[in-house]
Amino acid sequence: MFCSDSLTNAGIDQVSSYSKMFHFGIDGERQIVILCAGNLATTQATIATIKSDIKKKADVNLLTIETLGEAADYIGDISREQQGKRTVEGKKFEASFIIGGQIGSAKHETILIYPEGNHITTSKDTPYLQIGESKYGKPILDRILQPELDLDTCAMCALVSMDSTLRSNLSVGPPIEMQIYKTGSLTAKNLHRFEEDSEFLRELKKSWDQLLKEAFLRMPPLTWATNWDRSSRERNGSS
């Protein structure tokens, strides 16, 4: 499952919308999704090179590479090359990517590619990966996501996480794109796009806000905490 926003911010008077999610695949053979974050020129040039390699049938391209690990190396190399072209007076034009999907009967994977070109994958202890503005939406992912959860629950968790980021960071905004890939399907049918005026997003935001307030009001009162702390200190002092 993949989720991204589409807002690019180069200053308060330079705000534009660009998709940060790209799909490459051959039905029945392979499906690969790429998410982008970082410098827009670098990400666009990287994606453009990937598309060009496919179009001109280069020996190495996303439709011929045999594993997702090799695909991550390939994208990392292109990204580093594009970053090198744009370095000016020490300023960096870094970009990071998440690549995921499945090739043939191999195990599905999700891989995070750093600006330096190296990469990591998910694990039992790290069931999700994030790039870009992550701190505001991370807490809900940390609390909810588990490997055994179904795709619908994971998708809802990602949307709630995105809503939290939208609420706290003006540089992140709709349209919100979501791609749900079912392991072994080797097709990419479940693509959803939520515009700024999406009724579903408004209802999700309203429901989440209300449920958070209700949960907060059910928290233990401070007097309970004070009494507990006092009794705990007394027990420790007498032991």
Note down the domain range covering 7.
Answer: 2-218
What is the predicted pLDDT for the residue at 12?
46
Please check the confidence at residue 5 and state whether its pLDDT lies above 90: yes
Instruction: Decide if 230 is inside a domain.
Output: no
pLDDT at 9 over 70: no
Distance CA 29, CA 32 (A): 10
> What is the dihedral sign for C-alpha 194, 163, 202, 9?
negative
Distance of alpha carbon 83 from alpha carbon 99, whole angstroms: 19
Q: Is the pLDDT of residue 7 over 90?
A: no
Residue 227: inside a domain? no
CATH code, 151: 3.60.20.10
3-state secondary structure of 174: coil
Establish if 231 belongs to a structural domain: no
Residue 188 lies in a domain: yes
Residues with Cβ within 8 Å of residue 30, at least 6 apart in sequence:
63, 101, 102, 103, 104, 186
> Residue 66 domain-assigned?
yes
Distance of alpha carbon 113 from alpha carbon 36, whole angstroms: 10
pLDDT-derived band at 230, boundaries 50, 70, 90: low
Number of domains composing the chain: 1
Q: What is the mean pLDDT of the chain?
A: 89
Beta-bridge mates of residue 202:
none
* pLDDT score recorded for residue 48: 97
Helix-helix angle 40-55:68-85, to 10 degrees: 120
What is the mean pLDDT of the segment spanning 81-96? 84
Q: What is the pTM of this model?
A: 0.87
At residue 239, the pLDDT reads 45
Is residue 62 within 8 A of residue 76, CB to CB? The reply is: no
Of 147 and 88, the one with more pLDDT? 147
Name residues whose C-beta falls within 8 Å of residue 212's C-beta, 6 or more positions apart in sequence.
none
pLDDT at 80 exceeding the cut of 90: yes
DSSP, res 175? P
Per-position DSSP letters for 49-63, written without gaps between them: HHHHHHHTT-SS-TT
Structural domain contains residue 42: yes
Residue 107 lies in a domain: yes
| In a domain? residue 226 | no
